[in-house]
Structure 1
């Protein structure tokens, strides 16, 4: 008789299992690419600036370079004439001067300029090394490269950057009912692949999506074998629970080993972690919200930790708008929207269903309720992971 019962492992145990499998076979390669193509990739080494930027004190706007001391006491009622100045454009060296008077704030008269207020030293000036100094660490190994790191690298003297070559992931949906376009009753649009792809492309993964596999054990095992010949990690979506038509665990067992079947997370409990031909195979729940959190909170956290990568997860703090109950023994992910309430961030709880894709669309982020907690009080200060 089929066993329909789940014995869920703790989420940290699941992450450790993923890490262990990855480290046993997957070594990240490296490649050198243009700075302009480096967005959302991870630097594979530390980078130190070879430049100082700006290289000297420069004008921060078009105007007249002056000595600030000569402008003291100037007012609208008692303007001052400055004879010692030089016309400068934005980015030009101010040489021996220490302030810049914008063109629109001065009048040129009799070979000098008339000014109507005082200027302090370094006013309207970009200082030498203000952005980056020679020898300064501008990017650390494992750091996710955003547009700001790309700018820093270019300013620091680099036109190319060495990044980690991310593994080849393959996403295989399962289910006779899944189609791209509904043509008859009892069909469903397969859209989890869009969510999966968008989530992982943020970090430079090489992703391939395949047509759904039917509910047939021979067909599914054949697909798994074929795909693992080419790809580094396989994600099977759907069929990960323990119903009569849930075949993922059986298929993985026939070809390799199911290490985890059930993780104490909510949503996302019916997640499978297995190994086939030494490679990681994950069975993801069919509900989109469950799949999202299984990928984000299990796979990605484990992957980043395994290879010491910093994805720069953005978070904010907010006050919980109402009391929130959770099941003790499970790590729960609560979707929230963030609203401004008299200058404070207020976290409003959204629908918690695993199939409610609109809760992700409406969410600004989510709260993680740890395994050992069952209650968060109204007004609690909570950390919200932004989506």
Structure 2
């Protein structure tokens, strides 16, 4: 019998990058309208001020603030109305003493004015403006560069583009972004028992699950080039993996990673051009029989066939690797709660325990979900997981725990 020599989970990323340093992200330019969810590979700096001119934040009149001192309902301040500023136009007007100019919200403040009086506090008598309230310097005005100053870093390398980010970038006239090129993935499900959606179900067969769950999980981080089902035949798997390494950056092989007689992944990787297996087992539960290897500069994962184990390994190894390469680790994607039951773990192996949460008396209660790794309903029953380090034997009921979202 072949026993797996496991690698500590904390060593995986460093080992992968040592073996395949070229994995570190490559740059490409992306149009702003296509940038949602993409990850910046460079800092974005403003090359202009926002706003680019002193701008009114109200509908009203531009005046010199000192000339409104003492104005009240009974004793208004008087100004001569000298026209208006049109929206979207450069104001050539220069405000002189005792003058007022109408300015709508968002329009440019004329030179010489330092405040805006809201129209609600004004009264008009022919060409004379009566102001019934004093205003202070720069009241109701957004000054040039108040929002963004030229040279400011707007978004940092590793930022994930959101709709809000897109709005800011559009305001700066930035319509192309330097982003990390998305990784290309291939997913291969192996097993004589696995059938696809076009195959007729027979007793003893298992419908393919992993290619669907993995391909959807990948969408955030890369492009799924293909997903295929391959029967347990060494030459067939070898040929399919060889093709996939030509088309993809990362190949995920679901099933075929343990030490059984029909688990071909390790042998397949070794037969590839520049093939090397450098991890054959990880010190985690579930997911121990995970293989990691390469074909030259292409990364290959042999994931467990059980759906829960496969997704756990994807989340804690593949996903975290890509987040690290993209500088976008979601470090705040967790919350705390109180454990509802005593929880056992396996010393020497980092345990990832599926949970769901309930709320009782305004407190988050964390309920461990127990079941065999082949039970597909564990995925729908759970909404996160907790991590028990390899150096502890378990946690007691009532312990405060950190819960990671999927």
Same fold (TM over 0.5): yes
Tell me which residue corresponds to 2:252. Answer: 235
Deviations 1:105-162 (A, max 9, x none): 55756465777x9877766554543432110112223333333333333333411112
Partner of 2:205: 187
- Aligned to 2:258, the other structure's residue is in SS state coil
Alignment-derived partner of residue 42 in structure 1: 39
Give me the whole-angstrom Cα distance separating, in 1, the residues matched to 2:383 and 2:156.
28
Tell me what 2:105 maps to: 90
Q: Give the 5 Å matches for 1:194-209.
A: 194-203=212-221, 205-209=222-226
CA-to-partner distance for each residue in 1:33-71, whole Å, 9 max, x for gaps? 211212222222222110211224433454556777858
How far apart, CA to CA, are the structure 1 residues paired with 2:160 and 2:61? Answer: 41
CA contact (8 A) 2:71 2:131 kept: no
Within 1, Cα distance between the matches of 2:285 and 2:135? 60
Higher mean displacement: 206-215 or 296-305? 296-305
TM normalised by structure 1 equals 0.81
CA contact (8 A) 1:132 1:155 kept: no
Output the CA distance in 2 between the equivalents of 1:362 and 1:217: 36
Tell me the equivalent position of 1:275. Answer: 294
Alpha-carbon separation, structure 2, partners of 1:65 and 1:380? 62
Rounded to whole Å, the distance in 1 between the matches of 2:302 and 2:70 is 72
State the 1:319 CA deviation.
Answer: 2.4
TM-score normalised by L of structure 2: 0.78
Seen in structure 2, the aligned counterparts of structure 1 residues 347 and 118 have a Cα distance that, compared at 3 Å, is farther
Identify which of 324, 327, 336 aligns with 2:346.
327
Aligned equivalent of 1:156: 172
Corresponding position: 1:317 with 2:311? no
Residue 212 of structure 1 corresponds to which residue in structure 2?
Answer: 229
CA pair 54-258 structure 1, distance change in 2 beyond 3 A: same
Instruction: State the partner residue of 1:298.
Output: 317
2:130 pairs with 1:133: no
Deviation at 1:262, TM superposition (A): 1.4
Compared with structure 1, are the counterparts of its residues 245 and 125 closer, same or farther at alpha carbon in structure 2 (3 Å cutoff)?
A: farther
1:248 corresponds to which of 248, 260, 265: 265
Structure 2 residue aligned with 1:173, among 184, 189, 201? 189
Partner of 1:17: 15
SS of corresponding position for 1:229: helix
Report the counterpart of residue 160 of structure 2 in structure 1.
144
Q: Does the 8 Å CA contact 2:287/2:304 hold for their aligned counterparts?
A: yes
Compare CA radii of gyration and give the structure with the larger one.
2
- Structure 1 residue matching 2:228: 3-state secondary structure: coil
Could you give the per-residue CA deviations for residues 201-238 of structure 1, whole angstroms, max 9, x where no partner exists? 212x2322232000111211121222223322211111
1:372 aligned to which of 391, 397, 406: 391
Gaps of 5+ in 2: 80-99
For the structure 1 residues 118 and 355, does the alpha-carbon distance in structure 2 shift closer, same or farther, using more than 3 Å as the test? farther
Shift of 1:309: 2.1
Paired position in structure 2 for 1:51: 48
Q: Is the 8 A contact 2:270 2:276 kept in 1?
A: yes
